[in-house]
Chain A
Amino acid sequence: MLDLLGGGLLANLAPSMLLLVLVGTAAGMAIGAMPGLSATMGLALLVPFTFVMEPTQALVLLGAFYMGAIYGGSFTAILVNAPGTPSSVATALEGYQMTKKGKSELAVVGATMGSLVGGLIGVVALVFLAPPLAEFSLRFGPQEYFWIAIFGLTIIISMASGSLVKGLIGGVLGLLLATVGIAPVGGEVRFTFGESMLQGGVPLVPAMVGLFTIPEVIRLVARKGREAQMISEREDRERLWPMIRLIFSRPVNLVRSSVIGTVTGILPGAGGSIANLVAYNEAKRSSKHPETYGKGELDGVVAAESANNATVGGGMIPTLTLGVPGTPPDAIIIGVLLLHGLRPGAELFTASGDLVYTFIIALAVSAVMMVPVGLIGGRALQRGVVAMPARYLAPGITVLTIVGAYAVRTSVVDVVIMLVLGVLAYFLSLAGISAAPIVLGLILGSIAETGLVQGLLTAQGEPQPWLTFFTRPLSLVLIALTVVSLAWPFVRAWRERQSHRTDTHPAETLGKD
């Protein structure tokens, strides 16, 4: 294997290959930064261009593009609260708050470094742990996917900083929106209110763009520009090296989030959209100062971006070893492999080892390439947005959101859905119901429903089919994680009350002892 790795490294050091990785990474970043243009869509658009390429070059270009696109989503999430891809939802939660506080440059650098570490750890897992991890992922059945979605929903407790009831209402509203349209299992058409345009359901990207971005735009116009700052005019200018040092001074967060991203990426169908939220939640839960989350916490940005870029390498594990796509873009990679006569599986690593390892090393090179490209391009974009007057920024963002919503299915209906949800989100925010739990519910709703119904269907031979959700070993582990996640904020609050009581009455406590 080391020979093949060395060969892959040498192949990637060729100038033509480096140029290909650079072009792929930069193009992916540009596409990922556009709200509505996801990594999956960009890869699909790129496939025809790879027909004329050698299989190795085609895969290297697609891999670099994929890595860049996942990272590029962080730019608009940080700068204008418009996540470019669903993988950047958690990035927007903290990154945009940092922008409001004049720390957007630090957020961009944090996203870059997080993406670098996440991308590299995902690739390391792909190189050394691919076969056992791929086998492990096959043990996940519908019941486990249902519990993964429920575990993901516990993040609402972290997000609902103001009120748990209102956070839950937002999350359940998102789940309800996810049930609109054709059911994921059975194909039943539900809750369309007689409108055929709703049969396709509430599309995730337009909904996400509308829920996050439109309320900010409304706020800006309603409060006439500068009174409603979208971004701080007084940007904190710091030198690059101290910022990088600050980010790497918290290695546990970087590594933990990258591992979460890798593991989530391995699970077929989960991907970066879940990984970034789970990593964000874990970062907040293990933080010594969780109260700073939601107000512009660098660790939140780093956690989300490490996790979503780690899903690239993680997702490739079942893709290359089993032919099961770990994430949606991986399905396109499988298509390209098949197109070139390469069948995913264990023999791919032996029969076409040079190609596979060149591709894997190209993912790592792309992760490294993101740093100079991101620090130059991303910071230039950040400075441009910060310098732009509000009267140009608001219509500019609106154009971006409208094009983004339209681009997904080239449908004006999606633009209307985006607008309606955006206006609704503004009014809900007046009542203290934020957009983040709604988006979370929308993302996890279909995964939970598919897991629940498929689980019941596969267990129809059992006397009590629903009991299978509580008897499988992996389900029990996930239930335990869910219970811990639910209980943790309350335990933490109780411990803080206890320590506060001890601090305020030390004499009494000593006296009792």
Chain B
Amino acid sequence: MARPATLDDKINIAAAVLTVAVAAVFWSQRSYTTEYGGTFADPVIIVLGALGLVLLVFGLLRRPVGRGTEVEEGLPVRGLVLAVALLTAWVAALPYLGYLVGGSSSSSSWRCSCARSGRPRAASSSTSSSRSSSSPPST
């Protein structure tokens, strides 16, 4: 009897679906006008699609296929949204604010976001003291 699907299995299935989708999108974009336009690209798309299907089968069979770096630690969704939003805002502001003003204001926002939102906890290991010394004051 198959074991229940773990988060790893679900991530594998999602990655497989994404891979197959990317291959399908590129395949739909094929409109070569020369004889050798697709000589290299077509096999690459086919291999990518095939690998996606292999990963999908592994995911559905719930076989372990390596694992991501952050899965075991839990995904920091709020922080992730903040990080992507900050980066996007920085890049989007470049044409309007320029590199100097855009860079300065984005850096300031960034430093604020990196600051602690709570008081440092009591030292429980030798590393704690060095951590708190290099961290910004609590906000």
Instruction: Tell me if A423 is interfacial: C-beta within 8 Å of chain B.
Output: yes
Instruction: Tell me if A497 is interfacial: C-beta within 8 Å of chain B.
Output: no
Determine if B116 and A224 form an interchain contact, defined as CB atoms under 8 angstroms apart: yes
Determine if A166 and B88 form an interchain contact, defined as CB atoms under 8 angstroms apart: no
Known: A234-B127, A429-B70, A431-B11. A222 touches B32 (CB 8 A): no
Q: Given the complex, which residues of A lie within 8 Å of B82, measured CB to CB?
A: 221-222
List A residues 349-380 near B (Cβ within 8 Å).
Answer: none
Determine if A449 and B111 form an interchain contact, defined as CB atoms under 8 angstroms apart: no
CB closest residue in chain A, given B49? A172
List A residues 143-172 near B (Cβ within 8 Å).
Answer: 160, 162-163, 165-166, 168-169, 172
Q: Given the complex, which residues of A lie within 8 Å of B114, measured CB to CB?
A: 220-221, 224-225, 390-391, 394
List B residues 50-84 near A (Cβ within 8 Å).
Answer: 51-52, 54-55, 58, 65-71, 75-76, 79-80, 82-84
**Chain B binding surface, main DSSP class:** helix
CB closest residue in chain A, given B50? A172
* Chain A count of residues within 8 A CB distance of the other chain: 63
Q: Given the complex, which residues of A lie within 8 Å of B75, measured CB to CB?
A: 430
Instruction: Tell me if A348 is interfacial: C-beta within 8 Å of chain B.
Output: no
Q: Given the complex, which residues of A lie within 8 Å of B48, measured CB to CB?
A: 169, 172-173, 176
Determine if A419 and B88 form an interchain contact, defined as CB atoms under 8 angstroms apart: yes
Known: A218-B84, A226-B131. A188 touches B34 (CB 8 A): yes
Q: Given the complex, which residues of A lie within 8 Å of B45, measured CB to CB?
A: 176
Q: How far is the CA of A123 from the CA of B82 in the complex (A)?
A: 50
Determine if A453 and B47 form an interchain contact, defined as CB atoms under 8 angstroms apart: no
Determine if A415 and B91 form an interchain contact, defined as CB atoms under 8 angstroms apart: yes
Determine if B80 and A218 form an interchain contact, defined as CB atoms under 8 angstroms apart: yes
Q: How far is the CA of A412 from the CA of B99 in the complex (A)?
A: 11
Determine if B39 and A456 form an interchain contact, defined as CB atoms under 8 angstroms apart: yes
* Chain B count of residues within 8 A CB distance of the other chain: 64
Determine if B79 and A222 form an interchain contact, defined as CB atoms under 8 angstroms apart: yes
List A residues 410-457 near B (Cβ within 8 Å).
Answer: 412, 415-416, 419, 422-423, 428-433, 445, 448-449, 452-453, 456-457
Instruction: Tell me if A186 is interfacial: C-beta within 8 Å of chain B.
Output: yes
Q: Which of A165, A416, A422 contacts B65 (CB 8 A)?
A: A165
Determine if B29 and A191 form an interchain contact, defined as CB atoms under 8 angstroms apart: yes
CB closest residue in chain B, given A179? B41
Determine if A165 and B110 form an interchain contact, defined as CB atoms under 8 angstroms apart: no
Instruction: Tell me if B123 is interfacial: C-beta within 8 Å of chain A.
Output: no
Q: How far is the CA of A167 from the CA of B11 in the complex (A)?
A: 15
Determine if A430 and B69 form an interchain contact, defined as CB atoms under 8 angstroms apart: yes
Q: Given the complex, which residues of B lie within 8 Å of A217, measured CB to CB?
A: 83, 87
Q: For residue B49, give the distance in angstroms from its CB to the closest CB of chain A.
A: 9
Instruction: Tell me if B6 is interfacial: C-beta within 8 Å of chain A.
Output: no
Q: Which of B33, B66, B80 contacts A166 (CB 8 A)?
A: B66
Q: For residue B43, give the distance in angstroms from its CB to the closest CB of chain A.
A: 9
| Most B CB within 10 A of own CB, among A193, A226, A428, A448 | A226
Determine if B86 and A221 form an interchain contact, defined as CB atoms under 8 angstroms apart: yes
Q: Which of B37, B76, B91, B115 contacts A190 (CB 8 A)?
A: B37
Determine if A431 and B68 form an interchain contact, defined as CB atoms under 8 angstroms apart: yes
Q: Given the complex, which residues of B lie within 8 Å of A165, measured CB to CB?
A: 51, 54-55, 58, 65-66
Q: Given the complex, which residues of B lie within 8 Å of A389, measured CB to CB?
A: 134-136
Q: For residue A224, give the distance in angstroms from its CB to the closest CB of chain B.
A: 6
Q: Which of A223, A416, A422, A452 contacts B40 (CB 8 A)?
A: A452
Instruction: Tell me if A11 is interfacial: C-beta within 8 Å of chain B.
Output: no
Q: For residue A178, give the distance in angstroms from its CB to the closest CB of chain B.
A: 9
CB closest residue in chain B, given A452? B40
Q: Given the complex, which residues of B lie within 8 Å of A392, measured CB to CB?
A: 111
Q: Given the complex, which residues of B lie within 8 Å of A395, measured CB to CB?
A: 106-107, 110-111
Q: Given the complex, which residues of B lie within 8 Å of A214, measured CB to CB?
A: 87
Q: How far is the CA of A398 from the CA of B55 in the complex (A)?
A: 34
Known: A191-B26, A221-B82. A186 touches B37 (CB 8 A): yes
Instruction: Tell me if B4 is interfacial: C-beta within 8 Å of chain A.
Output: no
Determine if B91 and A416 form an interchain contact, defined as CB atoms under 8 angstroms apart: yes
Q: Given the complex, which residues of A lie within 8 Å of B65, measured CB to CB?
A: 163, 165-166, 432
Q: List 27 A-B contacts (CB under 8 A).
A: A162-B67, A165-B51, A166-B55, A169-B52, A172-B48, A176-B44, A183-B37, A185-B36, A186-B37, A191-B41, A193-B29, A218-B80, A221-B82, A224-B79, A233-B127, A390-B134, A391-B136, A395-B111, A398-B87, A402-B90, A403-B99, A412-B91, A428-B15, A431-B68, A433-B15, A456-B39, A457-B36
Taking A169-B19, A221-B79 as known contacts, 17 extra A-B pairs with beta carbons closer than 8 A to each other, sorted by chain A number, are A172-B47, A173-B22, A186-B37, A188-B34, A191-B41, A218-B87, A224-B76, A390-B114, A392-B111, A399-B103, A406-B99, A419-B91, A430-B69, A430-B70, A431-B68, A432-B69, A456-B36
